[in-house]
Homo-oligomer: A and B are copies of this chain.
């Protein structure tokens, strides 16, 4: 069994325990770990690291693809291993430590981290800790359910620790397309010209001598916690279907649309699934995380191909997909997140990007990350890579949060992740605002009329009108712009008494 997973015999004697592998990690090191939205994370070594730190304290810079499963970020936070964390996380314990200023969190566009590593602006990586489905005869690393930044971590690291996960289907081999851009300024065009393009290797080519240790594991990925569609997400999907139908009627799109991207989380996932109710067909995805919605669309006969950087599924969907992986494999490709999220490719393909906003302001600036403008939720992730370069940049949100106490449409967002230039369409359960080619004052009227919750609409319109009286391209009353957030911070609600 193990010989089919580690096909280079000379590497078999590098198998060690997680504890032995963890002991290689020293204080002050920069560690690159696999894992993207819970999928394909290293599972044994980081937990052994946390265990070790209880008696042998050490601190590291941890760089990943995106968020990890298995409470790894929690355990590494509780044992004070994390000094610095890059480029994304979604763990409640880590989040709290970040917001206390105890862990330095560098929130980055997900396409950019390995550019920084490759140009020696970040790093060098001391150890890459990478989950693999197999190691080839040449020592090539076959990733598991995500690639994320793993390929560049392995290529650029001084040494590599591989976790061979026997619970990951051997059939994952052949799914991956590992293409690494050449160095700048002599880089050539990235040859991806369609969702289906295969332009690289099915494994990460490395010098096998860099493999310092191999750990064998047998634990599944953490499941996605995505929730089912509800009336609001169904309404959002309905508005979006009608809008896209109108675009087809105007001749701007045909019923196959353009390649689709959907951000992580319940709302974007539900909206994407909801597209199955529209008249569209032969859809393709060029996205980062392939969630349940991807496979719902496959099973509905609506989707022909999906390109991503990870596969993150709920328990039920995971059973369905990995139980019959042959049914899906030739319609899938996983890429390094640098390529799945690359501005060059997203712009070339003309992706329709659907991302989730925490809140939007009346001019269409989007806050994706900071509660009340100060406290980090997860990070910007890939939303900026897609929103900036998309053919259509769509943001979805429910119009209220916290049981209706908070409006998701506010006078001014207290943290900007996406500027008005990068936001074409905003959809809430109340309606859709088409902001293309509109000036800020026109955008405000659309957003207030179509997206805001009726309970907050009048106050937004009142703010806007009083701001307009003071003039400007983007009218505001600075002394009042954050009064809704200030009320929320102090009283827990944006509603008036």
A contact residues vs B (CB 8 Å cutoff): 84, 86, 98-101, 104-109, 112, 115-116, 119-122, 184-191, 193-194, 250-252, 258-259, 342-344, 347-350, 365, 370, 372-376, 380, 384, 388-389, 391, 414-417, 419, 421, 436-439, 441-442, 467-468, 470-476, 478-479, 481-482, 485-486, 489
Q: Decide if B343 touches A473 in the complex (CB within 8 Å).
A: no
Q: Find A375's partner among B184, B347, B473 (CB 8 Å cutoff).
A: B473
Which residues on the B side are within 8 Å of A347 (C-beta)? 342-344
Q: Decide if A350 touches B184 in the complex (CB within 8 Å).
A: yes
A190 to B347, CA, bound (A): 11
Q: Decide if A478 touches B486 in the complex (CB within 8 Å).
A: yes
Known: A101-B468, A106-B437, A384-B419. 6 other contacts (CB 8 A): A86-B437, A344-B344, A374-B470, A374-B478, A415-B474, A479-B482
Which residues on the B side are within 8 Å of A193 (C-beta)? 186-189
Which residues on the B side are within 8 Å of A189 (C-beta)? 189-191, 193, 344, 348
Main secondary structure of the interface of A (DSSP, over half): loop
Q: How far is the CB of A393 from chain B (nearest CB, A)?
A: 11
Task: Indicate the member of A107, A437, A441 with the most B CB atoms within 10 Å.
Answer: A437
Closest 4 CB pairs of A and B: A184-B350, A374-B472, A189-B189, A376-B473
Q: How far is the CB of A98 from chain B (nearest CB, A)?
A: 5
A413 to B148, CA, bound (A): 33
Task: Indicate the member of A258, A348, A473 with the most B CB atoms within 10 Å.
Answer: A473
Q: Decide if A421 touches B259 in the complex (CB within 8 Å).
A: no
Q: Decide if A439 touches B374 in the complex (CB within 8 Å).
A: no
Q: Find A473's partner among B107, B252, B259, B437 (CB 8 Å cutoff).
A: B107
Which residues on the B side are within 8 Å of A384 (C-beta)? 388, 419, 421
Q: How far is the CB of A153 from chain B (nearest CB, A)?
A: 16
Question: In this complex, what residue of B is CB-closest to A413?
Answer: B416
Q: Decide if B349 touches A107 in the complex (CB within 8 Å).
A: no
Q: Decide if A437 touches B194 in the complex (CB within 8 Å).
A: no
Which residues on the B side are within 8 Å of A84 (C-beta)? 439
Q: Decide if A479 touches B486 in the complex (CB within 8 Å).
A: yes
- Known contacts: A104-B442, A107-B473, A344-B348. The answer to whether A436 contacts B121 by CB under 8 A is yes
Which residues on the B side are within 8 Å of A104 (C-beta)? 438-439, 441-442
Which residues on the B side are within 8 Å of A380 (C-beta)? 419, 421
Q: How far is the CB of A486 from chain B (nearest CB, A)?
A: 5
Q: Decide if B415 touches A99 in the complex (CB within 8 Å).
A: no
Q: Decide if A421 touches B373 in the complex (CB within 8 Å).
A: no
Q: How far is the CB of A475 from chain B (nearest CB, A)?
A: 6
- Known contacts: A99-B473, A189-B191, A471-B374. The answer to whether A389 contacts B436 by CB under 8 A is no
Q: How far is the CB of A402 from chain B (nearest CB, A)?
A: 18
Which residues on the B side are within 8 Å of A186 (C-beta)? 193-194
A251 to B467, CA, bound (A): 51
Q: Find A258's partner among B109, B115, B184, B489 (CB 8 Å cutoff).
A: B184
- Known contacts: A101-B441, A479-B486. The answer to whether A472 contacts B376 by CB under 8 A is yes
Q: Find A119's partner among B119, B391, B439 (CB 8 Å cutoff).
A: B391
Q: Decide if A373 touches B478 in the complex (CB within 8 Å).
A: yes
